[in-house]
Structure formats: structure tokens, C-alpha cells
A and B are shown apart, each in its own frame.
Chain A
Amino acid sequence: MDGVHDMGGRQGFGRIRYTRDARAFHDDWEVRANSLYAFAVRRGIFNMDEYRHAIERMDPRHYIAASYYERSVTSLATLLVEKGVVTREELETRAQGQFPLAGPSAPGRSNVAQRSRFDIGDRVRVRVDYVPGHVRMPGYIRGKAGVVIGQSPPYPFPDAHAHALPAQDEPTYDVRFRSDELWPESSEVALVHAAVFESYLERA
């Protein structure tokens, strides 16, 4: 989905709020939020792609305003309700207030039928796909050409895995793009790499 979570290349954001060697956690609830979602994944209640997609389905106003661990809590609760483990009413009673959840999911998809294997050095182009459900293609590489410089072992295909659809595992390719081809005349010179699923790619 072309959601607000797809941040790469968005303009208008200010300085990085950077401090050296900043802490990962600031409060006990953040540590427990992180642990509870990891617990749910380990128990097999949901997988990491479902978890990421439930974050992406948050209301954009909520997403933008929430801290990272508040997004974790929202995804965790949304999936626990959707999977029938708890009800929203119980959570709101226990929390003594409203418990905002993410919105509904659009359909997922399985692997692209006509896909190719690529080798290191191959020139590839990211397919111009618009996917309503979960997808791990950042919008800034859609339709762009790059060069394969690495290959991973096969992974579950996220567009299906986030929607409990059957699919074949497939490798991802580390694809090297030039920033001036991603954002012509509107970026600083760099090589930008993304890990791209085979189904998202065609030969350039």
C-alpha cells in the first residue's frame, strides 16, 4: 500500500534529533511493548510481515504522531483482536480508556507468475506495481533501474505472508541505484541500495 509509512525521499522533515549513543529505551512500557510483540511472534500468533502491515494500516494521523513503540503496541493489539485472542472491549476496559487500533486490511497477493532469476551484475528494473495490501517495495524505487550486487537466501514472500496467503519463498536482491536516477536533479549524490524481492523485478 502507498501508505504514510513509506518515508524514503519524503520532503519537509527537519533535522535529525541526534545524540551520540542514544538509548534504545526510555521507559519500562517500551521494553515490555517490544517484548510482548516478540512473544506473540514466537508463539506463532502472527508473523513479522503481519506485524509490519498492521503498523502500516494505522490511521496516518496516528502513525505520524506516535512513537515507534506506540506503533508496536497498536499493531500488536490490532492483530490480537483480529486473530480473536482478545476483544477491543476487554482491552479498553483494562486500559481504562480508548485503545486506538489500525484500520482494516486490503487483499494481499501471491508471487508474480512470470519472474526471472538474476545474477550479480544484471541490470534490473523495479516493476510498476500498485499493491493494495502489504508490499516491501519502497515507493521511491518503483519503475527505477539498478544493478544487482547481492542475493539473499529465499524468504517468505511478504505480500502473501502478511495476508496468510500461500506463496513460494523467493530471494531478494540487493540492488544498487543512483540517487540522481531516483530523484533527478533533486537529490545529493549517493549510491542507494534496497533489498528487492524477485517478484518486484524485471530485466532492464
Chain B
Amino acid sequence: MRPRNMALMSDDDRALRPTATPGQRVDAIQAALDARGMAASEAVAQLSHLAQEEWVPRNGARVVARAWVDAEFRRRLLANGRDAVTELGIAMPPHHRHLVVLENTPGVQNVICCTLCSCTAFTVIGLPPDWYKDLEYRSRVVRESRTVLKEMGLDLAPDVEIRVWDTTADTRYMVLPERPAATAGWSEAELAGIVTRDSMIGVAKL
């Protein structure tokens, strides 16, 4: 029989209960906060909209396209990323005080990671996919970057220098990918349309 009062359960009793699913656990937290009048569900609706509709790679794609067509913007972006993305109406959270933009060239491929957790400039390049947060990427990309990139479909020539950036503090990084040669004459909007999140993480070329 199920005890009515969890507080009276012994550790042995508790251990016999199955672990709640993550979904049940999220429901429990949300309901507990709502029950305290904290209006968690309203905040969740608002923040979920931001996470799914506003903090998306399209933001970073606009930054990259502008940098490709506007040399003065590119200079400002490389000097102070946070100020430059603000010019395009892209906000960063208060604790992201610094955005470093890493420019790829024919001889240099930058790639970002977070070995300790899974930090990203998520308001600019979008929230990260599973593989970025998985143990495989976090453990291996700093130590065997060339093999990891090759496995992910980016087979770099031996003379290309790889620069890995581990997001171990609150500085955020994004990669400025190379503009494909076949895009001469394209509009800024057309250019933004080909820029992917993975290219701004640095695991793909365009």
C-alpha cells in the first residue's frame, strides 16, 4: 500500500519506489512553484517562447552575413562582439559580458566547446544540440580535434591550423565562417540564409 505521507517513509521505503521520469520531475517543480504563487507557468511560457523562437541561429547568421558585406562592421565585430551584435538588435544575457568572434581563414579553423558544462552564446547562435553537450564531444574535441572534426564530416587539410576554444568562464565565443566563393553578388539576406549553427560552432564549413 502506498504511504500517504512521504515524510514518514523510511529510506528503505523510498528506495522501493521507482524513480520519477524527468517529465514528472519537471511537472512537480513547476506545480510546487505555482502553488507558492510564484507564477512559474507564466514565466515558463514566456521563456519557452524565447528559447524556441528568439534565441535561434538566425541571429548569428545575420551577424555573419553583415560581417561578410560590411568591412567596418566586421572590424567592430572582431574588436567587441557584444557591442556589434547589439547593433543588430541581438541581446545577450547580463552574465555574458564579453563575446569573442573567431574568424576562420583558409589556414585556420576555429571550433568552440564547453568541457565543464555546455555553455554557448545561445542568444546569438542558438541553444546547442545534444552532440555539443554529450560526453563524447566534451571529452574528445580538445584532445583529438582533427579526428573529431573528420568524424563530423569536416576533413581538414593537414596544414590547416585548428584552434579549439573551451568556454570555461562567462566569455562567449562564436565562429565567423569563411564566405563561400560561389556567393559573389548575393544580397545580405541571401547570405544569412546559408549560415548554419554548426558553422558558427566551427564543426562545419559552408
Contacts and interface: CB of A to CB of B under 8 A. Distances in A.
A20 B130 CA distance: 11
Contacts of B29: 36, 73, 76-77, 80, 86, 91
B166 A194 contact: yes
Interface string A1-27: 000011111110111111111111111
A97 B134 CA distance: 27
B166 A93 contact: no
A59 interface: no
A195 B171 contact: yes
Contacts of A93: 6
A174 to B, nearest CB: 7
A190 B47 contact: no
A14 B20 contact: no
B172 to A, nearest CB: 9
B53 to A, nearest CB: 11
B168 A95 contact: no
A148 B119 CA distance: 21
Interface stretch (A102-110, A113-121, A135-143): A135-143
A117 B206 CA distance: 40
A174 B100 contact: yes
Contact of A138 (B24, B168, B197): B168
A28 B47 CA distance: 13
B43 interface: yes
B169 A155 contact: yes
A159 B200 CA distance: 30
For chain B, the bracket of interface size reads 35 or more
Contacts of A27: 23
Interface stretch (B31-39, B69-77, B84-92, B179-187): B31-39
Contact of A98 (B20, B47, B48): B20
Interface residues of A, number: 87
Contacts, number: 262
B130 A17 contact: yes
Interface string B9-52: 00000110111111111111111110010101001101110011
Given A8-B115, A20-B198, A91-B28, A191 B138 contact: no
A33 B27 CA distance: 9
B169 A197 contact: yes
A188 B14 contact: no
12 contacts: A8-B143, A10-B139, A13-B139, A15-B136, A21-B198, A22-B129, A35-B51, A69-B22, A89-B7, A99-B25, A187-B144, A193-B163
Given A91-B29, A98-B14, A14 B136 contact: yes
Interface in A115-158: 136-138, 140, 150, 152-153, 155, 158
A179 B116 contact: no
A80 B34 CA distance: 13
A35 B151 contact: no
